[in-house]
Amino acid sequence: MLSDELRGEIRALLDQYEEPRSALMPAFWLAQQSDGHLAAEAISEIAEIVGVDPGYASGVASFYTMYHLRPVGRHVIQVCKTLSCRMAGAEDILEHLKAKLGINLGETTPDGAFSLCTSECLASCGTAPVMLVDDDLYENLTPERVDEILAQLGG
């Protein structure tokens, strides 16, 4: 169930746009930020507020890779794997993370702290290799630097 406060914020979004349907994506963001992921129930409730069919709304949500349709760890690590990061050794960073966290791509550590996945080009090719942890970008990665970051995050 979306909180009353969240429902209010979502209704306020409708004023930003000529057509209410445009508020779907920002509403999904609000729900995900509040819950950690975007649950099917939340999508249905948002659909009702925005005035679209729930099936349509989940079709939109599933198109975009940044909406987590299933629960994820407290921190989501996305390692950029495209071109410049690949050339700068993104694979070594990824292998290091897998070993360190003891999980594969698409998995979450048993304590629920970290989820690991790859990302396509994160638009930071000059400081490759890079990764995003939640909203924060980490650049010029080395395995040592990754260890420091994990330690800071409480891994």
Partner 1 sequence: MQEFRVLMGHDTPGYASIGVYRDHGGYEALRKALHQMTPTEVTDEVYWSGLRGRGGAGFCTGMKWRFIDRSSPVPKYVVVNADEGEPGTFKDRFIMEHVPHRVIEGILIACHAVGAAKAYIYLRGELALCRERLLTAIEEARRAGLLGASVLGSDFDVDIALHRGAGAYICGEETALLDSLEGRRAQPRLKPPFPAQAGLYGCPTVVNNIETLANVPLIVEHGAEWYRSVGAPNPAVDAAARTGGPPSGFGPDSPGTRVFSVSGKLNNPGVFEVPMGTPMSALFGLAGGLREGLELRAVIPGGSSAPMIGPEHFEIPLTFQTLADAGSMLGSGAVVFIDDQTCPVDLALNLVEFYEHESCGKCTPCREGGQWMRKVIQRIAHGQCREGDLELVRHVSDGIKGKCFCALGESIPAPVNSSLALFPEHWQYHIEHGSCPIGAKEYSHVG
Long-range contacts made by residues 93-101, C-beta under 8 angstroms, separation at least 24?
93/129, 93/131, 93/141, 93/143, 93/146, 94/118, 96/143, 96/146, 97/146, 100/146, 100/147, 100/150, 100/155, 101/150, 101/155
- Which member of 39, 97, 122, 150 binds partner 1 (CB under 8 A)? 122
* DSSP secondary structure of 65-81: TTS-SS---SEEEEEE-
The verdict on 125 binding partner 1 (CB under 8 A) reads yes
The verdict on 42 binding partner 1 (CB under 8 A) reads no
Per the structure block, which two tokens stand in for 36?
């950690």
- Which member of 9, 11, 127, 147 binds partner 1 (CB under 8 A)? 127
- Which member of 43, 132, 146, 149 binds partner 1 (CB under 8 A)? 132
The verdict on 63 binding partner 1 (CB under 8 A) reads yes
Binding mask 3-32 for partner 1 (x = CB under 8 A): -------------xxxx-xxxxxx-xx---
Contacting residues toward partner 1, per CB under 8 A:
16-19, 21-26, 28-29, 50, 52, 59-60, 63-67, 78, 81-84, 86-88, 91, 105, 118-128, 132, 135-137
